[in-house]
Amino acid sequence: KLRVLIRAESVGGYSVSVPALPGCYSEGDTLEEALTNIREAAELWLEDAAPLISADVLATHFLRISLRLCAFA
């Protein structure tokens, strides 16, 4: 499972990131859009990393991508 960090922006919308995947960031005007975008970003990140990750680990990550809301200041 991958933890997703979500931050409501002062100018509107949300920024999101997956701390376990360096450089995996996205945003959206609504929470739903932000979560959809980060799921796609995480899947693309994992696809790009596929040559560097064992097949078992990669398959596990693809099957277990889940979004958990985590509040932070």
The per-residue pLDDT for 57 is 55
Contact between 34 and 26 under an 8 Å Cβ cutoff? The reply is yes
The contacts of residue 61 (CB under 8 Å, 6+ apart) are 2, 46, 53
> Cα-flanking dihedrals φ and ψ of residue 9, to 5°?
-85, 145
pTM reported for the whole predicted model:
0.68
pLDDT tens digits along 22-51? 899 999 999 999 999 999 999 898 888 766
